[in-house]
Chain A
Amino acid sequence: MAKAGDKSGGSGKKGLKRKAATEEAQEAAVGEDGTTESGVQPPTTAAFPPGFSISEIKNKQRRHLMFTRWKQQQRKEKLAAKKKLKKEREALGDKAPPKPVPKTIDNQRVYDETIVDPNDEEVAYDEATDEFASYFNRQTSPKILITTSDRPHGRTVRLCEQLSTVIPNSHVYYRRGLALKKIIPQCISRDFTDLIVINEDRKIPNGLILSHLPNGPTAHFKMSSVRLRKEIKRRGKDPTEHIPEIILNNFTTRLGHSIGRMFASLFPHNPQFIGRQVATFHNQRDYIFFRFHRYIFKSEKKVGIQELGPRFTLKLRSLQKGTFDSKYGEYEWVHKPREMDTSRRKFHL
């Protein structure tokens, strides 16, 4: 017993350890209830007293050893089960039951009653007459003003420049410590339709305020994962002046519709397909991913894409009904983490 003990304690080889352990276990088995199972692995129920778990072994090395053995056994069983299932499926051929769909958080999303039904007339009327109606009726074309918080640093300035190449008809102005509430009437008088303010903290951009101008809603986003053009690997050449196409993915709820329309109203209505550029706003789990690509159809089904422009992620913090007025404005939706983030499967956009 002492020798076996030494072996398991001293030697570094797993195989030897295992053998020693099995010898030990076998001896114990023989000792305990006399069953002579000459298998490689004696059943745990026979070897140890019932109700025993590996975590009760006080010796760390032995405990680790038992655990790795158990893990390997589990892995083997899993592989065997998989193989068996695969064989059964092959044997059945066409009659095999369909593969079960794995559960993901997106699959398990809690039913949201605000998801817009495309046939709903009331919501359709609401959307047709909201603040973006003039854009969607082709009465106004967008003119965007991009600015930052006061005294921006290099990254933010470069992000603004790159954004202005992505969004057509946009102008970047330096914010010389002016109050937004004073800028807004001036913008309105100069026919701007949208105002984008990129907020910066500790030299990196971290927030975005998007305000539709005549009297439209103001959305405040948290911005993260900002990558400028030179930080994007395998990117294409700089974007051209062509008007890009827009893709808005997954904005299903009523709030999502409002935000989606806000993004859509930033870009002119007539995408120039010769430019082959596309801006994507993809909403997944309440995070909006912005990407700007150039695509080329290699054949009917195959597309190649090159990522151009800046890339960032947005998360909506609040949607306010009028133009920017964080103190006295009325909020249509405010994100309240302690009330709204209680379930991992509930999303709002």
Chain B
Amino acid sequence: MAAAAARWNHVWVGTDTGILKGVNLQRKQAANFTASGQPRREEAVSALCWGAGGETQILVGCADGTVKHFSTEEGRFQGQRQCPGGEGTFRGLAQVDGTLITCVDSGILRVWHDKDKEASSDPLLELRVGPGVCRMRQDPARPHIVATGGKENALKVWDLQGSEEPLFRAKNVRNDWLDLRVPIWDQDIQFLPESQKLVTCTGYHQVRVYDPASPQRRPVLEATYGEYPLTAMTLTPEGNSVIVGNTHGQLAEIDLRQGRLLGCLKGLAGSVRGLQCHPSKPLLASCGLDRVLRIHRIRNPRGLEHKVYLKSQLNCLLLSGRDNWEDEPQEPQEPTKVPSEDTETDELWASLEAAAKRKLPNWEQTQGALQARRKKKKRPGSPSS
């Protein structure tokens, strides 16, 4: 049953049509999961985060203001809750201690009780972060700390257990060489591990590092890449560099110690919407508007590992951080599972996975087909005639 195998999916991707896709790179299969059985554009997934209890639950934030719970063990949506308030889509989703933190585009950050039996209850805490929020990110080391940033909305770090005032409010850089104010557009934020520092990438192709521990509120380091807005960012396993993606599909690795470009990754054709690195392996998952999920290897050697065409525009992704990528422990239902995979007699699963189960072409084969074959030119007068 594909539902039972959902726990072994390596990447979970949210799309514009409201479908949550689980991709298993080992078996090269992609499966669709929808809450209502039909894709609906109103339920476009705008934020994804892991739920409580390791990686067994996924919280899916949809465009209509609902947060759905999806269980990877069972492979189906378990419940949903309305999170009204503010206008715009979810820009950040996080959970801590049984509570849910949501932030919408208009700047309303709310903390909810995570009991999905209740249809809607009042939020435990509400903060106004400022309009035009592009991202809200939770610090993985200190779950009560969140950071928000957006268009003309400077980076702010909030402590949800503390006061209503932000812990750290970033200051804009000095005026540029024409004495004009430099505009602010923070598109993505990441917390650097083992320190209080934060990295942001902006829509004006800058990557900035802020240090709340230092007395200066201006960025400690600034690096630029390319000429197009950077839309997504992720930290590499070592923590010394970040990988950013822009609206043209260019991916670059930028070193944070020196602020220089380490290298680029090829392949994407559309705007990068989601990026995530594996915590220990040198793998990077990227998804974008060109409807393809790509897994790249970041070092030795840098290149494309897997490419999966998923028919809708992809908005966000979650990469499973588990270590046993290749090994899949035998399940007790193994012998009964095999015939049902071959003969899809179960209509319930067929309706859930509308045209989803597909075998990806072997990556090696695709590479071979692309190589041009050159015929040897027959030379006149040579003995082979």
Assuming the contacts A123-B311, A334-B249, asked whether A53 and B290 have C-beta atoms less than 8 A apart, the reply is: no
B17 an interface residue at 8 Å Cβ cutoff?
Answer: yes
B119 an interface residue at 8 Å Cβ cutoff?
Answer: no
Best-buried of B227, B309, B369, B381 by chain A (most CB within 10 Å): B381
Q: Residues of B contacting A52 with CB < 8 Å? A: 381, 383
Pick the interface stretch among B2-10, B102-110, B262-270, B318-326.
Answer: B262-270
Q: Residues of A contacting B19 with CB < 8 Å? A: 122
A111 an interface residue at 8 Å Cβ cutoff?
Answer: yes
User: Does B248 contact A331, Cβ atoms closer than 8 Å?
Assistant: yes
User: Does A53 contact B17, Cβ atoms closer than 8 Å?
Assistant: no
User: Does A114 contact B385, Cβ atoms closer than 8 Å?
Assistant: no
Q: Residues of B contacting A300 with CB < 8 Å? A: none
B203 an interface residue at 8 Å Cβ cutoff?
Answer: yes
Distance between Cα atoms of A137 and B289 in the complex (Å): 25
The chain A residue with its CB closest to the CB of B307 is: A113
Q: Residues of B contacting A51 with CB < 8 Å? A: 383
Distance between Cα atoms of A139 and B17 in the complex (Å): 22
User: Does B229 contact A328, Cβ atoms closer than 8 Å?
Assistant: yes
User: Does A122 contact B355, Cβ atoms closer than 8 Å?
Assistant: yes
User: Does A126 contact B312, Cβ atoms closer than 8 Å?
Assistant: yes
Q: Residues of B contacting A111 with CB < 8 Å? A: 361, 366, 369
User: Does A70 contact B380, Cβ atoms closer than 8 Å?
Assistant: yes
B276 an interface residue at 8 Å Cβ cutoff?
Answer: no
The chain A residue with its CB closest to the CB of B38 is: A125
Distance between Cα atoms of A200 and B379 in the complex (Å): 48
A291 an interface residue at 8 Å Cβ cutoff?
Answer: no
Assuming the contacts A55-B381, A329-B247, asked whether A110 and B369 have C-beta atoms less than 8 A apart, the reply is: yes
Distance to closest chain A CB from B132 (angstroms):
14
Q: Residues of A contacting B248 with CB < 8 Å? A: 331, 334
A174 an interface residue at 8 Å Cβ cutoff?
Answer: no
A183 an interface residue at 8 Å Cβ cutoff?
Answer: no
Distance between Cα atoms of A53 and B377 in the complex (Å): 13
Distance to closest chain B CB from A256 (angstroms):
13
> CB-CB contacts of B349-381 with A at 8 A, as 1s and 0s?
000001110001100001001101000000111
User: Does A53 contact B382, Cβ atoms closer than 8 Å?
Assistant: yes
Distance between Cα atoms of A327 and B248 in the complex (Å): 10
Q: Which listed residue, A110, A123, A329, A331, touches B249 by the CB 8 Å rule?
A: A331
Identify which of residues 27-65 in chain B touch chain A, using a CB-to-CB cut-off of 8 Å: 32, 38-39, 41
Identify which of residues 290-306 in chain B touch chain A, using a CB-to-CB cut-off of 8 Å: 290-291
A15 an interface residue at 8 Å Cβ cutoff?
Answer: no
Pick the interface stretch among A150-158, A206-214, A235-243, A335-343.
Answer: A335-343
B168 an interface residue at 8 Å Cβ cutoff?
Answer: no
User: Does A330 contact B247, Cβ atoms closer than 8 Å?
Assistant: yes
Interface size on B, residues (CB 8 A): 41
User: Does B228 contact A327, Cβ atoms closer than 8 Å?
Assistant: yes
Q: Residues of A contacting B291 with CB < 8 Å? A: 114, 254
Assuming the contacts A111-B361, A114-B309, A330-B289, asked whether A45 and B383 have C-beta atoms less than 8 A apart, the reply is: yes
User: Does B271 contact A339, Cβ atoms closer than 8 Å?
Assistant: no
User: Does A125 contact B39, Cβ atoms closer than 8 Å?
Assistant: yes
User: Does B247 contact A122, Cβ atoms closer than 8 Å?
Assistant: no
Distance between Cα atoms of A3 and B354 in the complex (Å): 86
User: Does A70 contact B17, Cβ atoms closer than 8 Å?
Assistant: no
Identify which of residues 225-266 in chain B touch chain A, using a CB-to-CB cut-off of 8 Å: 227-229, 231, 247-249, 266
A172 an interface residue at 8 Å Cβ cutoff?
Answer: no
B89 an interface residue at 8 Å Cβ cutoff?
Answer: no
Distance between Cα atoms of A73 and B291 in the complex (Å): 56
B286 an interface residue at 8 Å Cβ cutoff?
Answer: no
A119 an interface residue at 8 Å Cβ cutoff?
Answer: yes
A120 an interface residue at 8 Å Cβ cutoff?
Answer: yes
Distance between Cα atoms of A344 and B381 in the complex (Å): 31
User: Does B355 contact A343, Cβ atoms closer than 8 Å?
Assistant: no
Q: Residues of A contacting B229 with CB < 8 Å? A: 328
User: Does A53 contact B381, Cβ atoms closer than 8 Å?
Assistant: yes
Q: Residues of A contacting B382 with CB < 8 Å? A: 53
Q: Which listed residue, A110, A120, A321, touches B311 by the CB 8 Å rule?
A: A120
User: Does A53 contact B271, Cβ atoms closer than 8 Å?
Assistant: no
A129 an interface residue at 8 Å Cβ cutoff?
Answer: yes
B313 an interface residue at 8 Å Cβ cutoff?
Answer: yes
Identify which of residues 39-57 in chain A touch chain B, using a CB-to-CB cut-off of 8 Å: 44-45, 48, 50-55
Distance between Cα atoms of A53 and B248 in the complex (Å): 53
A66 an interface residue at 8 Å Cβ cutoff?
Answer: yes
User: Does A129 contact B383, Cβ atoms closer than 8 Å?
Assistant: no
Q: Which listed residue, B39, B354, B381, touches A44 by the CB 8 Å rule?
A: B381
User: Does A121 contact B372, Cβ atoms closer than 8 Å?
Assistant: no
User: Other CB < 8 Å A-B pairs besides A70-B380, A126-B39, 18 of them?
Assistant: A44-B385, A48-B381, A53-B380, A55-B379, A55-B380, A66-B380, A111-B369, A117-B355, A119-B355, A121-B355, A122-B39, A122-B354, A126-B311, A331-B249, A331-B271, A334-B270, A336-B249, A336-B269
23 residue pairs of the A-B complex, CB under 8 angstroms, read A44-B381, A44-B385, A50-B383, A53-B379, A54-B379, A55-B381, A67-B380, A70-B385, A113-B309, A122-B39, A126-B17, A126-B311, A126-B313, A330-B271, A330-B289, A331-B248, A332-B270, A332-B271, A332-B289, A332-B290, A333-B270, A339-B266, A346-B370
List A residues at the B interface (Cβ < 8 Å): 44-45, 48, 50-55, 66-67, 70-71, 74, 110-111, 113-114, 117, 119-123, 125-126, 129, 254, 321, 327-334, 336, 339-340, 342-344, 346
List B residues at the A interface (Cβ < 8 Å): 17, 19, 32, 38-39, 41, 203, 227-229, 231, 247-249, 266-267, 269-271, 289-291, 309, 311-313, 354-356, 360-361, 366, 369-370, 372, 379-383, 385
